[in-house]
């Protein structure tokens, strides 16, 4: 298997794994909690969804996929209302589009250098950033939902994580 195929396969796996965790996290969440902030320096779950969509869209869809960059980063953090279904569908749509861009990226696109925000990154760097960023905020979402609801999220309910390396 080539390194490009392996990179794409693992990026897809990690992003889809985060999506699975987000689905479990938001399952049965009271809509009243969507815009609650832990404190004035932190973001609500709604802000997190907007921010995850914005970052993934900017790094993968816009930059690697070479589509117009329409991100309004400040609006992701300043928003204080919006319905969950719309936010969820928009994030899912951005994830689907971004996975397609990753899958279709050529070796030359993966090795090329791109300007995004204040950074110069290769296509590989764009993918690594997007996966890491999506994962980081998935963890923040999970922590905040556990804090708000005092319920387990059961990410690994049916998976034996005590298996040893073979």
Residue 18 has pLDDT above 80, yes or no: yes
Q: What is the DSSP letter of 33?
A: G
Q: Can you give the pLDDT at residue 34?
A: 97
Distances (CA, A) of 143 to 26, 35, 114: 12, 15, 33
Q: Can you give the pLDDT at residue 119?
A: 97
- Per the prediction, the chain carries an average pLDDT of 95
Domain of 79, in residue numbers = 3-149
Q: Tell me, yes or no, whether 59 lies in a domain.
A: yes
Q: Tell me, yes or no, whether 160 lies in a domain.
A: no
**What is the residue-wise DSSP string for 51-95?**
HHHHHHIIIIIIIITT------HHHHHH-----HHHHHHHHHHHH
Q: Tell me, yes or no, whether 46 lies in a domain.
A: yes
In this prediction the pTM is 0.94
Strands 119-122 vs 113-116: parallel, antiparallel or unpaired: antiparallel
Backbone angles phi, psi at 67, to 5 degrees: -110, 160
Q: Tell me, yes or no, whether 155 lies in a domain.
A: no
User: 93: domain CATH number?
Assistant: 1.20.120.450
> pLDDT tens-digit profile of 54-75?
999 999 999 999 999 999 999 9
CA trace torsion 22, 23, 28, 34 (10° rounding): 40
Q: Can you give the pLDDT at residue 141?
A: 97
Residue 86 has pLDDT above 90, yes or no: yes
Helix, strand, coil % over all residues of the chain, rounded to 5: 65, 5, 30
Domain count, the chain: 1
Residue 1 has pLDDT above 90, yes or no: no
135 Cβ contact list (under 8 Å, min separation 6):
14, 18
Residue whose structure tokens are 């059961």: 154
Q: Tell me, yes or no, whether 162 lies in a domain.
A: no
> pLDDT tens-digit profile of 100-155?
999 999 999 999 999 999 999 999 999 999 999 999 999 999 999 999 999 999 89
């Amino acid at each position: 298997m080539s390194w490009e195929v392996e990179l794409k396969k693992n990026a897809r796996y990690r992003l889809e794994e985060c999506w699975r965790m987000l689905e479990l996290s938001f399952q049965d969440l009271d809509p009243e909690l969507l815009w609650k902030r832990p404190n004035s320096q932190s973001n609500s779950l709604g802000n997190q969804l907007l921010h995850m969509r914005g970052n993934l869209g900017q790094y993968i869809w816009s930059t690697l996929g070479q589509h117009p960059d329409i991100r309004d980063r400040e609006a992701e953090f300043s928003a204080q209302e919006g319905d969950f279904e719309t936010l969820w569908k928009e994030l899912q749509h951005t994830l689907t589009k971004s996975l397609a861009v990753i899958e279709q990226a050529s070796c030359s696109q993966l090795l090329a250098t791109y300007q995004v925000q204040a950074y110069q990154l290769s296509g590989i760097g764009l993918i690594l950033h997007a996966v890491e960023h999506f994962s980081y905020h998935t963890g923040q979402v999970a922590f905040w939902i556990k804090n708000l609801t005092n319920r387990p999220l059961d990410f690994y309910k049916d998976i034996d994580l005590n298996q040893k390396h073979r």
